[in-house]
C-alpha cells in the first residue's frame, strides 16, 4: 500500500483498538479477483468513507464484513479479536449491521415485520406483533416523523420510506458497526439531509460507520477518513482534512495516491 493507514495528522484514535479491522481481505468470483488484499479499519464514533468506481470492489468488501459473502482469504478483527463471519447471523451477533444498497426488504411484509426479520420478538409462544410495531414506531419516528404506514406491505411505500425501514432495521438492535451502502442514492434532498443528521447522531453515540458511496460530496460531508478502492485494490486511506475532492477524484479515477498524481493528470481530470 502506497499510503499509510493514517496519512497526515493522526487519526482520532492512534492508541485505541479499532472497532473493526479488515486485514488483507481477498474475494474471488470464479477466476475474477473482486477484492485483492485490502485492509481497512474503523474506530468507534468514526465514519470511514469507502469510495471507488463501479466494480472497484467496495460492496464486495463490505459484504465480507456483513456475512453475506465470506472472504476467500484474510482476517477480520472486531475489538482486536480475530473473528470468523460465515453468515449474516454471525455479523449481527457481533453488532455489525448493514443497510444494503438494494435495501433487502421483503416487499410483501410490513415495516415491523421487516425491521425484526430474523429477530422476531416472541410472547407466549407466538409472534408479538404489537411489541414489534411499538419498537418500530419509536425507531422510525426518529428518522421520519411523517411515517404512518406501519401495517402496509413495504412494497407500497415511497423510496424514502423504504429507506427508513431499512435504516431502522439496522439501528434497532444497538449496532456497534454500521455498513451503509449507498444510503442516499434513491433519496430526495430533504430525505438525504435526514440521513446525514442520522449519521452524525449515530457517530456521536460511538457507532463506527463504513459509508459506501458514489457521491464524493456525501463522503466529504460525513467522514473522517476516506478509503479509495480501484479495481479490487486499496489505493489508499486518507484523512479528509489533508486532501481536496480533486485529489480523491484522482484516486478514484486513476487509481493513484495523491502523492503520485502529476499536476498534468489533475488538470486532465478537469477536462
Residue ranges binding other proteins (CB under 8 A): 66, 68, 87-89, 92, 98, 100, 102-109, 113, 117-120, 122, 126-127, 130-131, 133-134, 146-149, 152, 155-158, 161
- The smaller minimum CB distance to other proteins, of residues 103 and 249, is found at 103
Q: Give yes or no for a contact between 233 and 244, defined as CB atoms under 8 angstroms apart.
A: no
- Least CB distance to other proteins at residue 155 (A): 7
Helices (H), the chain: 58-66, 88-93, 111-115, 129-143, 159-171, 189-204, 216-222, 245-254, 263-269
Helix or strand holding residue 225 (H, E): strand 225-230
* Smaller CB separation from other proteins, 2 or 117: 117
135: cell is 419498537
> Closest separation between CB of residue 22 and other proteins, Å?
19
Give the nearest distance from C-beta 96 to other proteins in angstroms.
12
How far is 133 from 39, CA to CA, in rounded Å?
A: 39
Task: Give which of 246, 247, 237, 239 is closest to 2, Cα–Cα.
Answer: 237
Give 68 or 261: the residue with its C-beta nearer to other proteins. Answer: 68
The residues that bridge with 21 in the sheet, in sequence order, are 41, 77
Q: Which is nearer to other proteins, 79 or 158 (CB)?
A: 158
Closer Cβ to other proteins, 14 or 102, answer by number: 102
Minimum Å gap between C-beta 137 and other proteins is 8
CB of 139 to other proteins, least distance (A): 14
What does the CA dihedral 49, 138, 131, 94 come to, rounded to 10 degrees? 20
Amino acid at each position: 500500500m502506497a499510503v499509510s493507514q493514517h496519512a497526515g495528522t493522526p487519526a482520532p484514535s492512534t492508541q485505541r483498538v479499532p472497532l473493526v479491522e479488515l486485514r488483507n481481505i481477498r474475494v474471488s468470483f470464479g477466476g475474477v479477483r473482486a477484492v485483492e488484499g485490502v485492509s481497512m479499519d474503523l474506530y468507534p464514533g468514526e465514519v470511514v468513507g469507502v469510495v471507488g468506481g463501479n466494480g472497484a470492489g467496495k460492496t464486495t468488501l463490505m459484504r465480507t464484513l456483513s456475512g453475506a459473502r465470506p472472504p476467500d482469504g484474510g482476517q477480520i478483527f472486531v475489538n482486536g479479536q480475530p473473528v470468523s463471519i460465515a453468515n449474516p447471523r454471525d455479523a449481527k451477533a457481533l453488532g455489525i449491521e448493514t443497510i444494503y444498497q438494494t435495501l433487502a426488504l421483503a416487499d410483501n411484509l410490513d415495516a415491523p415485520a421487516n425491521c425484526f426479520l430474523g429477530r422476531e420478538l416472541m410472547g407466549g409462544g407466538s409472534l408479538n406483533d404489537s411489541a414489534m410495531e411499538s419498537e418500530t414506531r419509536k425507531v422510525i419516528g426518529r428518522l421520519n416523523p411523517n411515517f404512518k404506514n406501519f401495517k402496509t406491505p413495504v412494497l407500497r411505500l415511497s423510496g424514502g420510506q423504504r429507506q427508513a425501514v431499512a435504516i431502522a432495521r439496522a439501528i434497532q438492535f444497538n449496532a456497534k458497526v454500521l455498513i451503509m451502502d449507498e444510503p442516499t442514492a434513491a433519496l430526495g434532498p430533504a430525505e438525504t439531509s435526514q440521513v446525514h443528521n442520522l449519521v452524525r447522531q449515530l457517530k456521536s453515540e460511538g457507532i463506527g460507520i463504513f459509508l459506501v458511496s458514489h457521491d464524493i460530496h456525501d463522503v466529504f460531508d460525513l467522514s473522517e477518513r476516506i478509503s479509495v478502492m480501484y479495481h479490487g485494490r486499496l489505493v489508499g486511506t486518507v484523512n479528509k482534512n489533508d486532501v481536496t475532492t480533486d485529489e480523491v477524484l484522482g484516486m478514484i479515477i486513476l487509481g493513484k495516491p495523491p502523492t503520485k498524481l502529476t499536476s498534468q493528470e489533475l488538470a486532465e481530470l478537469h477536462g
